[in-house]
Amino acid sequence: MSGDTPASVPEEAPEVADDPLLFLEEDELPDIPAYSDGGFRWRVLMVDDDDEVHRATAFALRGIDIDGCGLELLTARSAAEARQILMREPGIAVVLLDVVMETPDAGLALVQTIREEIGLNTLRIVLRTGQPGYAPELDAIRRFDINDYRTKSELTQTRLITTLTAAIRAYAQLEAAVVNNRGLSLIVRSATELFRVRSSHAFASMLLERLGQLLSCPSNGAVCAGDSVDDDASASMLRVICATGRFAGSQERYVEQSGDGTLIRAVRRCRAARTVVVDGPVVTLWLGSMTRDAVACFDAGRMLSDVERRLLNVFATSISAGFENVDLFERLDFFAFFDPLTRLPNRARFVADVDKILLADRPAAHCLAIADIVRFSDINDALGHRCGDALLMAVGKRLRATVGVQVIIARISGDAFAMYGDPTHIDADVIRHAFEAPFFVHGHALSVQVRLGIVRAGDGHDSAAELLRSANLALNEARQAGGVTSSVFTRAMSEEVRDRVALLHNLRAAIDFRRGLAVHYQPQVNGRTGEVLGVEALLRWRGDYGEMISPERFVPLAERTGMINELGQWVLEEALERMSDWRSRGLGMLRMSVNISPVQLRSDEFVDRLRASLQLADVPAVDLTLEITESVGLEAHEALSTRLAALRAMGVRFAIDDFGTGFSSLQQLTRMPADLIKIDRSFVADVARSSSDRAVVASIIMLARSRGVEVLAEGVENEAQKHALLELGCDYMQGFYFGKPMTAETFDAWLVERNGL
């Protein structure tokens, strides 16, 4: 059945006079009815080689309506001509076919062609013959689905119309079943295909295409949906995400602003009804999910049949799950590749987008930059996370406004934003100037600075990950430089990091396998009497190639990674064991000094481990001096103060190492448990020649005496330094002049010789 076929069929046939067909003279014959004048007509093909039969049949059927629709009569005078018409003309309901034409079986041969070659299975066939002897066999009638067989002599006007009515009704029912089955099959396929789609635009495009197929008309519609995931605008305004035909001009416009009255009215009605709404030729389907509104509007260009309306309801129900699925995938995609706070791409999406550009061989003129907010954590701590989040959103918008839409921008971590594009758009001075204006956030006017780490694409950078790594190195350089707000990546930065990583890896192996690590001992003496008072345990590390690695290089790394805890514990245990050995061999009751990192002091287990080590070595706590830096005194940490107090209660002594080189050095004596001050070697080096250094040393000695604290000078390397220190009243000394750091065995021999044992 064509798309214009009426949906319902009345039960009663039209009333006509029961007159025989009259074969009129040629001048009396009426005109054969013209083709459709606009309303729907049943199409009937009359095939007969007798012109009088054509005229008589046309006369008998003139003005006849069947089920409210007129007839459109097509004619053919041979089987070949009929075949061409059937191949060319769609929607023919009935064929009135003469059995005998060119040949005795021409009619039956055409029937076979209709069914088997052309495949018109719903078309109804009424055979007519003027020669009863040529009637088809019953098997042929069944096999070729022939609707009726009549001789021309018995086919009165009444019987002709009755036969034609029955055939047309049978055609309408069969065609409706075919349309219904074809529609259901299309719906099932469409639902499966649409369920696999992952984007709203692709879903909308396929939906409009399938609606056109379902209604057998060109695609002429629009799909409207909420703007985006979690966007409040979607609750009030829908945007046309895909449009075809007469609606194409509304693409990417909000429905209410499209200027298309039909579309606006249809969408409003559908959103209010939340179901399928048919208004003449325009149909709207509600597709919305729990989180997102969506409507499909389609103009079929004609009135829809009842079958089509029912199919549309089934179609809308079946694809609604597909839209919910698309909505879910877009939400998942959004949270996987976008930052929900700033709505900018996240690190994963940024890397993918930049890699796509790099693969296109267009990286040479581009650069990548990472920007972070100076002291952002202070803002978060002082004003709260809601204020911090609002600031991040404002910073993202200002960066976007500054660098322009040509630049890819993303939020890649807490307060860090990445940008990729032409260097003329990512200009450090322009960005710095853009951030001179304050941000007004939750009633606060915040002056914010950003730091930039910049790297140029190309130059050995084959991926976004490598560019990000290099830009981050440049950003770290800017952080360490303090006032510098931007830094450009250089190869030296990368080499320094590689060296540091390699050093860290080797240090881990050295700790695990005690490879190359050793404790050396340097004597501490009374410069006036020459008596050895104690010894300092110093960690030394010899690399795999025999080179000595300075503690200034590896100790800070160990502190940053936490390895200093196990490394420092090992040094403590080695020193206490050696001290116990000296005592058991009668080599003197020396005090042992061991350097302790602030990281070790922050450990909850440090005090208990030290107590256990002292007990295991059977060494009095009073003979152990822990050397700490004055930076410990700057940490206002209750737990740290508790640990220092516990250690002092055990009897452990404390020395402030490198005194005079830190912050507020002279004030630390009032805040730290100090038994000994070690004057830094930088003041000792010129103490014999520099009056200013002598004044500093004298001040330290005077301060220490006023507090009842002992003083020891480090780095004494010659006789002049020794005498200058003695003149200032500093008797305790340590340095190469008295003895270099020595291995345990070498120190044993040195101590035996020194004591004359």
Q: Give pLDDT, residue 322.
A: 75
Residues 6+ apart with CB under 8 A from 658: 629, 630, 678, 680, 714
Cα–Cα distance, 102 to 106 (Å, whole number): 6
Q: Which residues pair with 283 in a beta bridge?
A: 278, 298
122 φ, ψ (degrees, to nearest 5)? -90, -20
Homologous superfamily in CATH for domain 26-179: Response regulator (3.40.50.2300)
Mean pLDDT in residue range 99-128: 81
Q: Give the ranges where 215-339 is alpha helix by DSSP (H).
A: 261-273, 306-337
Closest CA to 710 of 694, 736, 731: 731
**Least confident window among 179-183, 369-373, 464-468, 649-653:** 179-183
Q: Give pLDDT, residue 25.
A: 39
Q: Which tops the pLDDT comparison, 704 or 191?
A: 704
Q: Given a cut of 60, is residue 146 above it in pLDDT?
A: yes
What pTM was computed for the model?
0.56
**Least confident window among 81-85, 550-554, 666-670:** 666-670
Highest mean pLDDT among 52-56, 123-127, 133-137, 260-264: 260-264
Percent of the chain at pLDDT above 90? Answer: 39
Is-contact 696 682, C-beta < 8 A?
no
Task: Read off the pLDDT of residues 374-386 as tens digits, 9 standing for 90 and up.
Answer: 989 888 888 899 9
| Domain range summary for the chain, segments of one domain joined by + | 26-179, 197-337, 347-489, 520-540+562-755
Closest CA to 251 of 221, 290, 228, 229: 221
Task: Read off the pLDDT of residues 434-463 as tens digits, 9 standing for 90 and up.
Answer: 999 999 998 889 989 899 999 988 766 778
Homologous superfamily in CATH for domain 347-489: Reverse transcriptase/Diguanylate cyclase domain (3.30.70.270)
Amino acid at 595: N
Mean pLDDT in residue range 261-283: 90
Cα–Cα distance, 602 to 429 (Å, whole number): 42
Q: What confidence category does residue 736 fall into, taking pLDDT thresholds of 50, 70 and 90?
A: very high
Q: Give pLDDT, residue 670.
A: 63
Task: Read off the pLDDT of residues 400-422 as tens digits, 9 standing for 90 and up.
Answer: 999 999 999 999 999 999 999 99
Residue 393 corresponds to which tokens in the numbers above?
């959103």
Q: What confidence category does residue 299 fall into, taking pLDDT thresholds of 50, 70 and 90?
A: very high
Is-contact 76 46, C-beta < 8 A?
yes
Percent of the chain at pLDDT above 70? Answer: 85
Mean pLDDT in residue range 555-580: 93
Mean of the per-residue pLDDT values for the chain? 83
Task: Read off the pLDDT of residues 200-229 as tens digits, 9 standing for 90 and up.
Answer: 888 888 888 888 888 888 999 999 988 655
Q: Give pLDDT, residue 483.
A: 64
Q: Given a cut of 90, is residue 395 above it in pLDDT?
A: yes
Mean pLDDT in residue range 163-182: 76
Mean pLDDT in residue range 579-584: 90
Q: Which tops the pLDDT comparison, 543 or 361?
A: 543
Q: Given a cut of 90, is residue 616 above it in pLDDT?
A: yes
Q: Give pLDDT, residue 231.
A: 47
Mean pLDDT in residue range 624-640: 77
Mean pLDDT in residue range 659-668: 58
Q: What confidence category does residue 237 fall into, taking pLDDT thresholds of 50, 70 and 90?
A: confident
Q: Which tops the pLDDT comparison, 365 or 456?
A: 456
Q: Given a cut of 60, is residue 17 above it in pLDDT?
A: no
Highest mean pLDDT among 1-5, 101-105, 355-359: 355-359
CA dist list (Å): 58 to 22, 67, 170: 11, 19, 22
Q: What confidence category does residue 484 fall into, taking pLDDT thresholds of 50, 70 and 90?
A: low
Q: Under CATH, what is the fold of the domain 520-540+562-755?
A: TIM Barrel (3.20.20)
Residues 6+ apart with CB under 8 A from 560: none
Q: Give pLDDT, residue 506.
A: 92
CA dist list (Å): 657 to 301, 661, 711, 712, 734: 92, 9, 11, 10, 12
Q: Give pLDDT, residue 5.
A: 43
Q: Under CATH, what is the fold of the domain 197-337?
A: Beta-Lactamase (3.30.450)
Q: Which tops the pLDDT comparison, 198 or 665?
A: 198
Q: Give pLDDT, residue 457.
A: 85
Closest CA to 443 of 400, 396, 391, 395: 391
